[in-house]
Chains A and B, each alone.
Chain A
């Protein structure tokens, strides 16, 4: 029962750091010099940093100057949403308070949900939640209607590129077109999508007819989801866009993000980004095939299991499978699979590690009982058929036992 996981299928939480990224990062840790220093040591550090920025920019269809390194994906999301919010308030032609609306789909990551909630509570933002369809895709017609209702009063639109829990790929191109046409800036949280789907800022801006500082202007990504180190992310910020910084200080990175830059982490990030980008298509195809094998296997083993998200393989992240097991607690399944040596996720957990019914499934109109039985299985670049088969071998017994344990809220045989 105390066996530790040997099969890792929670790559959406974090994925193992690549060996080439570890090697490059540890070598860079030995380099002395602050990239802001003028002497030769500083210049050497700066060279490594900027080479890394160029490599990351190339994987995102952006210019190097448009890549702002942050301390995490969460920081990138906060910087985009709050920074754009304050900048849009300061420049509103109608004056303060004339541009209070933030349009955001339900089922977003907490980095977004809690940030817009903070802006609502502290800064007077009017947060309008856009509905999801039953597959977890934002209702584009609802967005169009919200923009039609007075686009001048919208501060920004923010959304996921692909949902981190159920893997549904969002209609980013359509949303970008609508935002561009309405003259509203759009931020996209691509943390779950990066390394699995092609992301190209300039191409998408051109295709959607974005004008200066409007349409798609910002994309958030994180290194540790693609085999880079934890502790570095990036906000890709179109050169035409301005935002208010969250951190004030030395004025590094376009004065958008002050703080001494982490050269070694940037090097590790860049090596991982370049390696993943070079094989993006073939790796995505390989992962999709593994995922489809996994989904078919779950359906064969547990016919009652319900796949969440898009059943069309093209509509979901190549590495994502997400099921609800009726009559089970997700945390029972997680425990039993963990004991059998397979690491998976229930999708979301709060700070204390308490499993909560998935807010994503709730936003998709599912019942709380359905949401309680959720299990997310996510593949990474190193995942193999053996990993999938080990999960499928452990699942039936775990499901049988978890069904017996049932739902925590029900009456028990010990009740009197």
Chain B
């Protein structure tokens, strides 16, 4: 089956970010396809490479990034939600006159059309959040 996954909550604050990761990982390990993981609302905060959790805790950002590398997973962060919350890549920093970036390069920033497209292209859209 082909899944699209939407993550609506930030890391550590809410289990949704963990559940989405475990769902994606399990689906991929079972041989299913994950068309795209789309990060929306506070979910965009799952993509900041500046995250530094205590050493005895999971690193949610790194965990996503490693999954993406292993399975060539497309992880998209909503641009409008990212702008509101200060999640920035090189292009956004230049466009909006910001002095730094914080996104992990294994995520990419793009528009909401990517979410709608993923819902159209996939057999199931699975939403994680309240």
A is bound by B = no
